[in-house]
Amino acid sequence: MGNIKIGGDEVFVDDGGSIIDACESLGVLFSCQEGTCGTCEVEVVNGAENLTSPTSAEEMMGVDIEGNKRLACQCKLKSGDVELTYDL
């Protein structure tokens, strides 16, 4: 169990669960939810190790994984807390 945090707000997510609903309730915008549009690109501030590994969709989109960028639609929580930032 863990929390997804953006700004001062956080939402609980079960271990192994997708972070889409949590991120959406914290203001992240979603469009395709399949890793093809990039709308939900977030930066992982803390807890990157608590997310599943980057997917092939993220790699094909050219997401700057080395710069701690991820597509929220592609991430699942392994366990623990994750802090993100999101720019509209």
Q: What is the pLDDT of residue 11?
A: 98
| Enclosing domain of residue 15 | 2-85
User: pTM here?
Assistant: 0.94
SS (H, E, C) the chain: CEEEEECCEEEEECCCCECHHHHHHCCCCCCCCCCCCCCCEEEEEECHHHECCCCHHHHHHCCCHHHCEEEHHHCEECCCCEEEECCC
Torsions phi, psi for 20 (to 5 deg)? -55, -55
* Residue-wise pLDDT tens digits, 28-76: 999 999 999 999 999 999 999 999 999 999 999 999 999 999 999 999 9
Look at the chain and report how many structural domains it folds into. Answer: 1
